Amino acid sequence: MSDDGGSREPLRLNDGHHLPAIGLGTFGLTGEAGIAAIVSALGLGYRLLDTAVGYGNEWEVGEAVRRSEVPGEDVVVATKIRARDHGYDATRRSIAESRRTLGVDRIGLHLIHWPNPRLDRYVETWQALVAARDEGEVRSIGVSNFTAAHLETLVGETGVVPAVNQVELHPHLPQAAQRAVHERLGIRTQSWSPLGRGRVLLERPEVTRPAERLSASPAQVVLRWHHQLGADPVPKSADPGRQRENLAPVGRLTEAEMDAITGLGRRGGRLWGGDPETTHL
């Protein structure tokens, strides 16, 4: 169990680079309102912005970085390869297009969004990311929603271990077995939808009791749970107050509190049934 939640110091990846311990999810943050929300987050201290080609807002993310007073070199922008761009040549084109849309020479973190095993091209896609990294187009590379079997195939066929695997992870889906695989391989775990179904989770006594003890919000407690698991949450919020709250460090949860929150895991805990074996995005 990790204690990374005690600070917001950047975390070292297996490629020697560093990544902020918490990021801002940007799904749905589009147009001028989206840009304003992202600029707000940067002003509050966020230094990792998570987008994707499939979100349709790479331009807004890049524009927010340009409008912010934070130097661009201090911000890590993560984006993702969608299903239609799997395959070596298509992935190289997608990387080039993302760089143009974001307005950057080098992308901070580039992930394969979903493995799409029915296409059977995620190894080629990974090889393209490795080449882009080696040629300086991308700083760090990783995957998203990859199972243990997908990871074993990637590493077995290329010898290159992803720096990050971003997976659905929240108290209703603690992903213990998947996290153990990441720890064994030296892959950093990122959590998408880290707060699960909002009120359904945040009103549980397993969350509200430690929140009261720590004088924290229920959301802060759940984010602290992620950090103590050794996972790096990427919560989404357009509200400056919630952005500030999500970024604030919180006191340590006890082992019993951690176990109680993890015990909220349940069969079929995925938010919308996103199965890495069948989801095509």
| 55 labelled catalytic | yes
Nearest partner of 203 among 219, 224, 223, 214, judged by Cα: 219
How far is C-alpha 125 from the geometric centre of its chain's CA atoms? 19
Neighbouring C-beta atoms of residue 96, cutoff 10 Å = 12
Q: Please give the Cα distance from 278 to 181 (Å, whole number).
A: 21
Neighbouring C-beta atoms of residue 83, cutoff 10 Å = 20
Render 17-77 in DSSP notation, one character per residue: -EE-SS-EE-TT--HHHHHHHHHHHHHHT--EEE--GGGT-HHHHHHHHHHSSS-GGG-EE
What's the DSSP call for residue 248? S
Q: Please give the Cα distance from 11 to 232 (Å, whole number).
A: 9
Nearest partner of 129 among 160, 153, 151, 104, judged by Cα: 160
Q: Please give the Cα distance from 123 to 105 (Å, whole number).
A: 25
Which of 46, 55, 88, 122 is flagged as catalytic?
A: 55
Neighbouring C-beta atoms of residue 199, cutoff 10 Å = 10
8 A C-beta contact, residue 21 and residue 232: yes
Catalytic residues: 55
